[in-house]
Structure 1
Amino acid sequence: MRGKLCILLMAYLLPIAGWTSPANLVDAEWHEIETPHFRIVTNGRPESVKGLAEDLERFRVVASQLLSASEVQHKLTIFALADRNSYAAFVGDENAKRTGGVFHNTSYGSFALVNLGSDRSMREHPAREFLFHEYTHFLTYGRSPLHYPYWYSEGFAEVFSTVDFPKDGNYVFGAIPMDRAASLYYDQPMPLEELLRATPTTADGRQNSRVYAGGWMLTHWLIMSSGKADRIQGYVSAYNRGEDPVDALVSALEMPFEELERHYIGQAKGKFSKRTGLMPRGYKPVQPIVQPLSREAAVAEIARYLVMSGKNADSLRELVQYARAERADSHELMSIIAVAKTRAGEFSRAESLLESIPLGAHSEQWYQSAEAFLWLERQLVKGVHSDPERLEAVRDRFAALIEANDEVPAYWRGLAVAMQKLGYPRGEYLKILEQAYLRAPREVGIAWWYANELYLDRDAEIFARVAHPLLMQITEEQPRTQLQAMLADLLPDIAAPEVDAEEKKTIDGAFAKYKGYSANKALALALDYKGAYVFGYAYDSPDQDTANSKALEVCEARRITLNVESLCRIYAEGDKIIDAVGSSDRL
């Protein structure tokens, strides 16, 4: 038995050695498999992946019922990669060692990646659990600003990763994932308090495995056996308000920690219940459409993901070099590399790449998108000296891109930036910014700008809805302090952070200073898409018009000096806010 085990271990470990060369990616046979809700790009066996696509559509229906997921979820792009080496070329060697699948929700769209060769259960469809796991992340994270504790995020996805369809019209969920079974058999459960406090940044490779196993155990008990599943949302809300993760769970469940720990430890020795259900009456299995991809199209798909996700620049460089040498490049690939050069600030190189593309392709969305981002970034580096005519062209281009595909958050953000810099009323560009946020609530740049704008409206509930989850993403001290101060300003129950005089030069500090001024006063404000801002005050003026003019004059002078890119506006007259969207309020 021991000899057989060694052979099995060697068979599992051998594929880990090495790294996929760009030749293996470019010269592989690639296929596109499409269903109403999924688009799968794969270098695996198309018939096997076709079966996965059919099960994914079934799983989507089940998950939509069990998770109350939104029906408006856009189509998810999945890279189903044949082996560990192909997977490593996308996610990097270290991530490939630690994961069998990943999910990315970016401002350019959502992507899931799965290693088809990573499944050890010898089931009919390789890596099926990984795909169901990642799609659960897509359903719960795709359009929600909420953040879930690490253990619950992964544990929840694991619970639904084992959905099975034993016969037509039926489904079963709640079985233990194969990797979790191995973890529980060979290892002791992670201590409960350690599990509840774990984060992706504090857990190493072995601890990650224990978090997944412990998260699965605790989540399975909460959903299947505790009778307290309806209290989980209250716990998640408390967690997003910044409450202690241990105290928040104990409070939400109304259960002493010792009792909760007893149930948790008991899971490691218990039998795990499963539940069954029926597919909706009249459900018909989906027939995926399978099409081969040319080498050129496959290279463009790979490059697009690497650029849009910002992952694995080394793979991108080697891929492009090999594709050019083998004449597997394309005009579309050139446009994708132009986007990468634009991001790096190499505008002349990006422009020359786009100029190499024939006029006949300039109507393609991939070309127009690359050109729009180049136009925008060129204007943004000019700061307050940007060209209004060129910004109008940027505005029109992003508006056209949204008309063609309104699911891309980056298009909405580009349009909002152009509108703000052109001096549109706050209400108009905020409607556009809101659409960007709703499509990518975890994109920090979008959420940061939106939170600052919402703060100016002085609506504590709406501001907190964006600021609390954002605070969980920001690690830099200065913006964290600023966001905490704004929350404390609008929500009296939140303690303000202790800061020195220099750090107090924040928006809430400026408001506090302004409140102390006498009548016939005005406050002018400029706040741009970066969250940069500047104020102009006037007080003790002979009349309100004079105060307004003086405040604008002071604000504009500071705006030019500090390169704040939006125009100055009168924000408050006296203590009354006049530039809040939708209503007036008082500071």
Structure 2
Amino acid sequence: MNADWYQVETPHFRIVTNGRPAMVRDLARDLERFRAATSQVLRIRGDRQRLTVFALANRSSYAGIVGEEQARQTGGMFNHTSYGSFALVNLERYRFMREHPAREFLFHEYTHFLTYGSSPVQFPFWYSEGFAEFFSTAEFPGDGSYMFGAIPVDRASSLIRDRPMPLEDLLRATPATVDKKQRLKVYAGGWMLTHWLIMSSDKGGKIGDYIDAYNRGADPVDALTNALDMPLEDLERAYLQQAKDRFPKGKGQLPDDYRPADPQPRPMSQQRAVAEIARYMVMSGRKSESLEELVQYARAEGVDSHELTSVMAVAETGTGAFERAEEILATIPADLHGEFWYRSAEAWLWLRWELQKGTESDPKQMAVVRDKFVSLINDNDEVAAHWYGLAIAMQKLGHLRGQYLEMLEQAYLRAPREREIAWWYAHELYLDRDAESFAFVARPLLMQTSGQEFREQLQSMLADLPAEGVRQAERAGDTLGGTFTKYRNYSACKALALAFDYKGAYALGYVFDSPDQDAANDRALEVCEARVLNSVWKRRVESMRRAIGSSAAPTPPSAACSRGLAGRANCPTICWR
């Protein structure tokens, strides 16, 4: 850890590093080019969060965060948390990779971030990793073009040394059912099958049907063979043939409005770097021993800080040592109490302390906590944890379910893979008897957990509140149905974008007779997003104001509309230009 630290910032990435600044600057440029290419190819618009990458110079730095055992087994990690998404990478581990150290790893993980970082939809293990591997070998020849689909270095060695995993085993594999050797085969076989689906078959448009069926609980093998309309034997024959073929590449041009990033590395104090790393360790649930070692190091090297002190208070709050956390926060000077990191630590301490008191909690203190979370959200409305804290405080204060459910929904939309948030949201939707929304949240949650008791409870709730056939006519309504009928009769180069909230409110935009399909897609989304911001968000702000009796409400987030009908899995559409 004892080294010079730098941060490199671009519009969509922030890299904190103790590696060589020039090398990391090039990596940041590549990441921006990769984002521009994949966002265009996958037709993904506007991720709202910047990804933070900790690019560690060597194994020693990396092991100081993840521990010795993980450092032996991995060269990088990716975490979705209720505070944001983070990547860690050991630059030394990837120094022999082509083009640039760690590039393939980060391209792989950023593909995950783009495709389902903000979605509850579950991808089968083979497809999730195979899809990310397909894009990990992106190339940029230098003429404004890009290429995807080259064989990843690690997959090439697997395909040469080992026989491909049998197709049925591949389709049924999960992270919990494979060992280390089998996992490597899943990555190789997943890449091979995904490559065939995207580049060599005429079945790419059916992948969405497969993902939909998989998320509805269909048998993994039946879901794919039915979606592709291929017997398993024919599909396996095409899959195995891939190991003997050459692999074509997909090509395209970067968007016309793309401008290369020119980030300049800026020195970062070791105090700030240590505090940020410590905060990440707490947010991602790293072992307390590693945090204690980092704190001891900071004190020994004279790089302790008040921000690091606040992180220690957060860690103590998480263990239930509230008095100790209060004592730690009390050491931070009053002139720093307005800092975001201090206010967040204090809000969570007070909330968890009041919750521990049960029926003895103080409503006045809880109201103060609620307003603290509102203030934090007004400063940064992308932190799911703060929406979650606000929802908890509102429920404890006795607000109506519809009021705190609005806040819980915002937390879920920002961190749908946080199980604690997803479980509470699913439970409240179940109590609300909202069958479709409950199923939308509960089904992927069921697929994420392996605990038998928890699974049985969710399965029982899903059986009690089946979504099929519930409120479809009510949700669509005559006006919406009429709109779809009218839309079907329009000419080509048309597009329709539709956004639903969980109560059935919707915003819709469509266009026709556009110059081309891309223009139609973009214009329909613009119309939809404008209507979301002008209608749905206004309703939420009014609900917020009624709930807290104040005009202080969070500023509106970016709207999120989806092409096609609501409820379909967010499976990326491949579109080579």
TM-score, structure 2 normalization: 0.79
Residue identity opposite 2:62 in structure 1: Y
List per-residue Cα deviations over 1:459-501 (Å, max 9, x = no partner).
Answer: 322211111001112222333222112211222879xxxxxxx
C-alpha contact 1:165 1:171 (8 A) present in aligned 2: yes
- Structure-1 residue corresponding to 2:395: 420
List per-residue Cα deviations over 1:495-516 (Å, max 9, x = no partner).
Answer: xxxxxxxxxxxxxxxxxxxxxx
- Structure-2 residue corresponding to 1:59: 34
CA distance in 1, matches of 2:91, 2:287: 20
Deviation at 1:122, TM superposition (A): 4.4
- Is 1:439 paired with 2:414? yes
List per-residue Cα deviations over 1:117-158 (Å, max 9, x = no partner).
Answer: 222644331111011001111111211001111111111100
C-alpha contact 2:439 2:467 (8 A) present in aligned 1: no
C-alpha contact 1:103 1:134 (8 A) present in aligned 2: yes
CA distance in 2, matches of 1:335, 1:63: 38
List per-residue Cα deviations over 1:238-289 (Å, max 9, x = no partner).
Answer: 1112221111111111111111111111111110010110011132101113
Q: How does 1:172-571 map to 2 (within 5 A)?
A: 172-491=147-466
C-alpha contact 1:189 1:210 (8 A) present in aligned 2: yes
Residue identity opposite 1:363 in structure 2: G
C-alpha contact 1:89 1:315 (8 A) present in aligned 2: yes
CA distance in 2, matches of 1:327, 1:232: 55
Aligned equivalent of 2:106, options 120, 128, 131? 131
For residue 40 of structure 1, give the secondary structure of its aligned residue in structure 2: strand
Moved more, 335-344 or 471-480: 471-480
TM-score, structure 1 normalization: 0.78
Moved more, 365-374 or 115-124: 115-124
Deviation at 1:72, TM superposition (A): 3.4
C-alpha contact 1:40 1:79 (8 A) present in aligned 2: yes
C-alpha contact 1:87 1:114 (8 A) present in aligned 2: yes
C-alpha contact 2:49 2:84 (8 A) present in aligned 1: no
- Is 1:44 paired with 2:19? yes
Distance verdict in 2 for CA 1:146–1:122, change over 3 Å: closer
CA distance in 1, matches of 2:11, 2:430: 39
List per-residue Cα deviations over 1:388-433 (Å, max 9, x = no partner).
Answer: 0110111010000000111111000000000011011111111100
List per-residue Cα deviations over 1:369-402 (Å, max 9, x = no partner).
Answer: 0001100110111122211011011101000000
Q: Which runs of 5+ in 1 are unaligned?
A: 1-24, 495-587
List per-residue Cα deviations over 1:315-334 (Å, max 9, x = no partner).
Answer: 21111011112211100000
Distance verdict in 2 for CA 1:94–1:241, change over 3 Å: farther
- Structure-2 residue corresponding to 1:69: 44
List per-residue Cα deviations over 1:207-263 (Å, max 9, x = no partner).
Answer: 111111111101111111111111111111211122211111111111111111111
List per-residue Cα deviations over 1:82-138 (Å, max 9, x = no partner).
Answer: 123322332333333333322111111111112212226443311110110011111
CA distance in 1, matches of 2:188, 2:47: 32
CA distance in 1, matches of 2:401, 2:84: 26
C-alpha contact 1:250 1:257 (8 A) present in aligned 2: yes
- Is 1:150 paired with 2:125? yes
Residue identity opposite 1:418 in structure 2: A
Distance verdict in 2 for CA 1:145–1:302, change over 3 Å: same
Moved more, 265-274 or 380-389: 380-389
Paired residues in the alignment total: 469
C-alpha contact 1:101 1:134 (8 A) present in aligned 2: no
Residue identity opposite 1:428 in structure 2: Q
C-alpha contact 2:36 2:258 (8 A) present in aligned 1: no
CA distance in 2, matches of 1:352, 1:67: 50
List per-residue Cα deviations over 1:139-180 (Å, max 9, x = no partner).
Answer: 112110011111111111000001110113111111111111
Q: Which runs of 5+ in 2 are unaligned?
A: 470-577
For residue 121 of structure 2, give the secondary structure of its aligned residue in structure 1: coil
Residue identity opposite 1:139 in structure 2: L
Residue identity opposite 1:437 in structure 2: Y
Distance verdict in 2 for CA 1:85–1:186, change over 3 Å: farther
CA distance in 2, matches of 1:289, 1:315: 31
Residue identity opposite 2:12 in structure 1: H
Aligned equivalent of 2:4, options 4, 29, 32? 29
For residue 280 of structure 1, give the secondary structure of its aligned residue in structure 2: coil
Moved more, 468-477 or 158-167: 468-477
CA distance in 1, matches of 2:37, 2:465: 41
Deviation at 1:193, TM superposition (A): 1.4
C-alpha contact 2:126 2:189 (8 A) present in aligned 1: yes
C-alpha contact 1:98 1:205 (8 A) present in aligned 2: no
CA distance in 2, matches of 1:465, 1:360: 46
CA distance in 2, matches of 1:263, 1:130: 28
Distance verdict in 2 for CA 1:312–1:270, change over 3 Å: farther
Distance verdict in 2 for CA 1:58–1:311, change over 3 Å: same
Runs of 4+ aligned structure 1 residues displaced above 4 Å come to none
- Structure-2 residue corresponding to 1:578: none
CA distance in 1, matches of 2:5, 2:198: 40
Residue identity opposite 1:219 in structure 2: T
C-alpha contact 1:54 1:287 (8 A) present in aligned 2: yes
- Structure-2 residue corresponding to 1:9: none
Residue identity opposite 1:323 in structure 2: A
Distance verdict in 2 for CA 1:367–1:120, change over 3 Å: closer
Deviation at 1:290, TM superposition (A): 1.3
Moved more, 69-78 or 421-430: 69-78
List per-residue Cα deviations over 1:514-559 (Å, max 9, x = no partner).
Answer: xxxxxxxxxxxxxxxxxxxxxxxxxxxxxxxxxxxxxxxxxxxxxx
Return the index of the structure with the highest Cα Rg.
1
Distance verdict in 2 for CA 1:446–1:51, change over 3 Å: same
Root-mean-square deviation (Å): 1.5
Distance verdict in 2 for CA 1:236–1:260, change over 3 Å: same
CA distance in 2, matches of 1:427, 1:449: 14
Deviation at 1:453, TM superposition (A): 1.2
Q: How does 1:158-169 map to 2 (within 5 A)?
A: 158-169=133-144
Q: Which has the higher contact order (CA 8 A, sep 6+)?
A: 2
Residue identity opposite 2:343 in structure 1: Q
